[in-house]
Amino acid sequence: MTWEVLSMIGTIAFAISGAIVAMEEEYDILGVYILGIVTAFGGGAIRNLLIGVPVSALWEQGMYFQIALLSITAVFLFPHNLLKHWQRWGNFFDAIGLSAFAIQGAIYASEMNHPISAIIVAAVLTGSGGGIIRDLLARRKPLVLNSEIYAVWAIICGLVIGLKFATSPAEIFTLFIVITGLRVLSYTFDWKLPSKRLRT
User: Residues 79-125: pLDDT tens digits?
Assistant: 776 666 666 666 787 788 899 889 988 988 898 899 999 999 999 99
The alpha helices in the chain, defined as continuous H runs, are 3-24, 29-51, 62-77, 80-111, 116-137, 151-162, 169-188
Residue 85's alpha-carbon distances to 44, 110, 156, in angstroms, are 28, 38, 30
Which amino acid belongs to residue 6?
L
Tell me the CA distances in angstroms from 58 to 63, 94, 132, one per residue in order: 11, 21, 19
Exposed e or buried b per residue across 130-163, where buried means at least 16 C-beta atoms within 10 angstroms of its C-beta: bbbbbbebbeeebbbeeeebbbbbbbbbbebbbe
Residue-wise pLDDT for 113-172, tens only, equals 999 999 999 999 999 888 888 889 988 888 777 757 889 999 999 999 999 999 888 899
Angle at 173 between CA 190 and CA 99, to 5 degrees: 35
pTM: 0.85
